[in-house]
Amino acid sequence: MVLAGTAACGTVENLSAGQKLDNAFEKLGEERSIAFELDLDTDAKSLMALDAEQSEPGEEMPAEIAELLSEGTISVSMHSKKPIEESEEKDFTAMAMKLSGPDGALLEYRLVGDWFYARVDAATLGEMSGNPMPPADELPPEAGAFKKLLAGEWVKLSKKEMEETGKNMSGAEGLGESSSAEPSLDAKTQKKLTDALKKAVAQNVDFATSGGSDGTEHIKATAPFRTLVTELLGALKPLQNDLPIGDELPTAKDFADAPNTKVSADFTLKNGELTEVSVDLAELAESAKVKKFALVLRVSEGEKPEAPAGATELDIEELMTIMLTGAFGGAVSDEEFGDVPLEEGDLAGDTQMW
């Protein structure tokens, strides 16, 4: 969005590219259902070569993980009662996410109405992580519906119960609720932030357009990486006290050793609608062994996620009991938690599961 709004500050070609990107993003915002698919355009050998240059001996990326990252995809879809650009969290009636590997879905969840649905390929994920899960048929009867989950079947949990569990565990608001203390940007600060980013991007990003006869058009945005990041941080620095961030912003010194090679983002439009964004990161690798390394986001109108049929209800308390009593092979001991007892409120600052 910043790229779309900043192109008009540059050359005539940037102005044309900016108008086209503006129109494409506006069309996306008008949709009520939208879907994204994210993946890496690379291969396992390139990932392992890149990781080997940065890892200590014996800590290199396993081949299974490299294959998952190179061939896997993350798919997200959502549906709202209002156009996406006008929607707040309460307006979304259905959401879905799926992590797929080379041989199919590894993890999938859907939030439809008052229910959260999930299924997982526990065997494959366990093998990849080096921590295999026990077969579902080896679990004791008290494992209940959790056996269904390990068997790769759909289970469902009450959204209300998940919210209550989240409150009890962390003392914070549950899923779907907002906190009055949660930091946010006011309209004035948002404008200052947008203007600052626009200026930084407009001074460092070049646009080029190309198209075909079938209604497909490419808009390529290119910029030197270290220069662009440094300028963006410089633009954010004066607004740091007004931004809802917990830590200090990085400084230009932190990126002094970053490569200043040019990176590019390729926006694909089909009849004026955004269908794909590809960010080429191969130059940042600075390795002759990495020929292709890009982050690709595909966009489509999507369909409203539906509740899967035949899901087995999984009780939250039952799930917590299974985890704490070690239904997978032995009770959880005090030693596993250390010598310091947990007091009320100790989890308040932790990330919530729900």
94 is written with which tokens? 């259905």
User: What does residue 343 show for φ and ψ, rounded to 5 degrees?
Assistant: -105, 165
Q: Residues 24-59: pLDDT tens digits? A: 888 988 999 999 999 999 999 888 888 887 788 888
pLDDT of residue 185: 60
Whether 35 contacts 76, CB under 8 Å:
yes
Residue-wise burial string across 303-334, b where 16 or more C-beta atoms lie within 10 A, e elsewhere:
eebeebeebeebebebbeebeeeebeeeeeee
pLDDT at residue number 76: 95
Q: What is the mean pLDDT of the segment spanning 52-67?
A: 85
Of 15-24, 261-270, 291-300, least confident by mean pLDDT is 15-24
The whole-number pLDDT of residue 327 equals 46
The b-or-e profile of 51-77 (16+ CB within 10 A means b, else e) is: beeeeeeeebbeebbbbbbbbbeebeb
Q: Which residue has the higher pLDDT, 172 or 145?
A: 145
pLDDT tens column, 265-289: 999 999 889 999 999 888 887 766 7
Q: How far apart are CA 86 and CA 47, in angstroms?
A: 39
| Integer Cα distance of 53 and 295 in angstroms | 20
**Band of residue 349 on the pLDDT scale cut at 50, 70, 90:** very low
Question: Residue 204: what pLDDT?
Answer: 83
Give the per-residue pLDDT at 337.
40
Average pLDDT, whole number, for the chain?
78
Q: What is the mean pLDDT of residues 317-338?
A: 52
* Global confidence as pTM: 0.73
Given this model, what pLDDT does residue 235 score?
82
Q: Which of 110, 127, 152 shows the shortest CA–CA distance to 68?
A: 127
Which pLDDT value is given to residue 339? 45
pLDDT, tens digit, 9 for 90 and up, residues 152-200: 899 999 888 888 877 776 554 444 444 444 455 666 777 777 777 777 7
162, burial (CB in 10 Å: exposed 0-12, middle 13-18, buried 19+): buried
What's the pLDDT score for residue 246?
Answer: 55
Least confident of 219-223, 256-260, 349-353: 349-353
